Structure 1
Amino acid sequence: MILKVAFARPNATLNQVNDLLRKTEDRGLKQSLAICVSLYGDAVNFDIPRAIQSVGKDNFTARTGTNALF
């Protein structure tokens, strides 16, 4: 359930962070937002969908895929 909630509005959140990244002139904030976009994008595009598919499966790949998310 928590994975589905986390996946509910990923693009809106990612778009908001990207907008902030484009608008800021502060170098430190730009670096932080770029890291956020990279990590959040990976989670949204790879980790969360894989974790949702793996829920209930009892195999090494499912456990390591879910553990990588946390």
Structure 2
Amino acid sequence: MRITRQSMISGETNTLDLPVTCEQLAAWMGGEPIQKVFRHLPPWDREFIKTGITRAEWDATFPPEGEA
């Protein structure tokens, strides 16, 4: 399913094609923990669903220690 979100960091709108269903999105929006509903997704994809921040944007904004 194509998910479109606006990044909380840059304000840019991005779309990712993620292996999620409408039912899963509804469960999360209804209050189920994102880690439970989307346990099959890596953390960066769950972050995108919550905040619109892509993995590349996260890595650029918060580089690992020693790489800043």
Same fold (TM over 0.5): no
TM-score normalised by length of structure 2: 0.27
By percentage of residues, which structure has more strand? Answer: 2
Which protein shows a greater Rg?
1
